[in-house]
Amino acid sequence: MPTARSYAASSATSPLAFSPIPRREPTERDVEIEILFCGVCHSDLHQARGEWSALPTVYPCVPGHEIVGKVTRVGSAVTKHQPGDVVGVGCLVDSDHSCPICESNLEQFCPNATFTYNSPDLHGTAPVTYGGYSSSIVVDEHFTLKVPGNLELAGVAPLLCAGITTYSPIRRWGDIRGKKVGVVGLGGLGHMGVKFAHAFGAHTVVLTTSPGKAEDALRLGADEVIVTRDANAMQQAAGSFDFILDTVSADHDINAYLNLLAIDGTLTMVGAPDKPLPVSAFGLLFGRKRLAGSLIGGIAETQEMLDFCGQQGITSDVEVIAIQQINEAYERLLKSDVKYRFSIDMASLTEG
C-alpha cells in the first residue's frame, strides 16, 4: 500500500510529529493530489487535542481540511480533472452520493458524509481518514474543486473551510446589496465574512470587543466598526441591522446582537461555542427575528464560492509557515496571534 509523509498527533497530549501514513491507490473515480498548501483551522487544534466529546478523536490524528494541491494521477472514470490541474479539497471527501440530501447538493448534511480527517474510512485504508497535514491525498473526484488560476495558492487554502463557512450563509440569506450587515468577531472566519459582505455590496459593520482591530477591519472592507463594549454605541445601533454573521466560538452574550437586528432580521451563527448560549425569547418575539446556524457548504456551492473569489480577487489573509512550526502555531492560535489564518507550505514536509 502506498504511504505518504504527514504530521500527526499520537495522543491528546503529544505534539504533532512526523509520521508515515497509508494512502490508497486511486480507484476509477479517484484523484491523487500532491498537497502544496494546507490551512490551519481552529478545529484542527480541538480535534488533535481530543477536546470535542461529541467527536471523539481516533489516534494517530492527521488534521487538515483546507487543502490545495496538484493532481498527479486520476482514475479511469475521472472527467473533471487531469494531471497537472490545481485543485482544492475541503472538509468533505465522500458521501453516499444518492440520498435526497446529496441530490440537493447539501453533502455536508449527508448522514453518511465522510469528513477529511478523523472520519471512518470507508475504503478500509486506515481506521479513520487522514487529512491535509500530509504530502498527498486521494479523493473521490466529486469532492475535488477547481481552483481559479489567478489566485495566490497559500491564501486559497483557507477558503476551503473559512471561506465557504462564511460565504454560504451570506448567499443563503439573499441579496444583501445596500443592506446593513454585521460581522461579529474579526478572526479567521470574521475577516472572510467582511470580505464577502463587502464584495456583495453590503454596508458592512464589524462588531468587536477590541478597539485595536478597527483599522484592520476598515482595510478588509468594513464601512464602520462598533466596539461592543461601548454601551452607547450599541444602543444607537439597536434595531438597525438586516443580517448579522456571528463567527465567535467563545462564550458571549448573543442577546446583545439580537437586539441589533431590525424587524425580520436574521442572526446566523457559524462560530461554535462549547457551551449553550442563553437566548431571550422576547428578543426574538419583538421584531420577528430569526436565529439560525450554518455548516460549511455543499460541493456545488463551494465551487461557486471559489469561482466568485477568482472573479473578485479574494483570498484569505495568511501567514505561511513550515510544517515544523505547527505546534507553535497551535499555541499562537490559542492567543489569537495570527492575521488571520496560518497556511502550511507543504514543501517543508520532509522525513524526520
pLDDT (tens digit, 9 = 90+) per residue, 318-347? 999 999 999 999 999 999 899 999 999 999
Mean pLDDT confidence for 187-215: 96
Tell me the average pLDDT of the chain: 95
Q: What is the pLDDT of residue 235?
A: 97
Q: How confident is the model at residue 147 (pLDDT cuts 50, 70, 90)?
A: very high
| Structure confidence by residue, pLDDT tens digits, 296-312 | 999 999 999 999 999 99
Q: What is the pLDDT of residue 256?
A: 96
Q: What is the pLDDT of residue 54?
A: 77
Judged against a pLDDT cut of 70, whether residue 352 lies above it is answered with no
Mean pLDDT confidence for 159-167: 98
Q: What is the pLDDT of residue 27?
A: 95
Q: What is the pLDDT of residue 55?
A: 84
Mean pLDDT confidence for 130-137: 97
CATH match of 162-293 with 3.40.190.10: no
Q: What is the pLDDT of residue 175?
A: 87
Judged against a pLDDT cut of 90, whether residue 86 lies above it is answered with yes
Q: What is the pLDDT of residue 26?
A: 94
**CATH number of the domain located at residue range(s) 3-161+297-304+316-348 in this protein:** 3.90.180.10
| Structure confidence by residue, pLDDT tens digits, 43-76 | 999 999 998 877 899 999 999 999 999 999 999 9
| Structure confidence by residue, pLDDT tens digits, 7-43 | 999 999 999 999 999 999 999 999 999 999 999 999 9
Q: What is the pLDDT of residue 274?
A: 79
The three cell numbers locating residue 188: 479567521
Q: What is the pLDDT of residue 319?
A: 97
Q: What is the pLDDT of residue 243?
A: 97
Q: What is the pLDDT of residue 144?
A: 98
Delimiting residues of CATH 3.90.180.10 domain(s) in the chain: 3-161+297-304+316-348
Mean pLDDT confidence for 214-235: 96
Q: What is the pLDDT of residue 38?
A: 98
Q: What is the pLDDT of residue 111?
A: 94
Judged against a pLDDT cut of 90, whether residue 350 lies above it is answered with no
Delimiting residues of CATH 3.40.50.720 domain(s) in the chain: 162-293
